Amino acid sequence: MVKKKTTGKRQKEGVKTGKGKAAGKEKDPGIPVDKGNAGETVTEDADVAVLEEKLRETENKYLRLAAEFDNYRKRTLKEKSDLVRFAGEDILTGLLPVMDDFDRALQNLDGTNEIGAIKKGVELIYTKLKDYLRRKGVKEIEALGDEFNTDMHEAVTKFPVDDKKKKGRIVDVIEKGYMLHDKVIRYAKVVVGE
């Protein structure tokens, strides 16, 4: 019986030292190994790494889109500001030749005594300006003799008239009115008969 005790003792020592029959069957308490879940742990780690990479890519895309939108917003505000600031540039550029004509007319006033020539020059400038405004869609509101209309006329005063046909109609125009296409941009200031 003594031998059996020794053999049993050796077998126990073999387990501790890694020798003997039981050495391959026992687990090393220092390294936790779960044979059933080992593949799943590696797969989960790979999935987490892939998801983290996708998250980084998504965050980068978001930051780029946010920056791009901010740039778009700033560019749009600048374009809008420039549009408002320079909206009349085309019209003003078209008026410059009329200004040049007035400059020439004023220079020639000192050198001439002919009223007819001066009048003709001013009429030419007036016609040129009127044609330019017409091309831009500006037209005069014809008011004299028309029935008073609050959508197009501003009554400055009323004037007593003898003719019943002139009552409620415009008998004088103090200041011409103008329309841009179909919109009144200045009401005609008129005198209405009563």
Q: Which residue has the tokens 């501003």?
A: 154
pLDDT at residue 192 greater than cutoff 70: yes
Q: What's the distance, Cα to Cα, between the start and end of the chain in Å?
A: 147
Please report the beta strands in the chain, taking only residues with DSSP state E, as ranges in sequence order.
138-141, 153-159, 170-175, 177-180, 183-186, 188-193
Cα–Cα dist 74/69, whole Å: 9
Q: Are 137 and 180 in contact (CB under 8 A)?
A: yes
pTM of the predicted protein model: 0.55
Residue ranges of domains in the chain: 139-194
Task: State the pLDDT at residue 85.
Answer: 84
pLDDT tens per residue, range 74-96: 999 999 988 888 888 888 888 89
For 136-160, how does the pLDDT look when each residue is reduced to its tens digit (9 = 90+)?
999 999 999 999 999 999 999 999 9
**CATH number for the domain running over 139-194:** 2.30.22.10
Q: Where on the phi/psi map is residue 145: left (φ > 0), alpha (ψ -120 to 50), or beta?
A: left
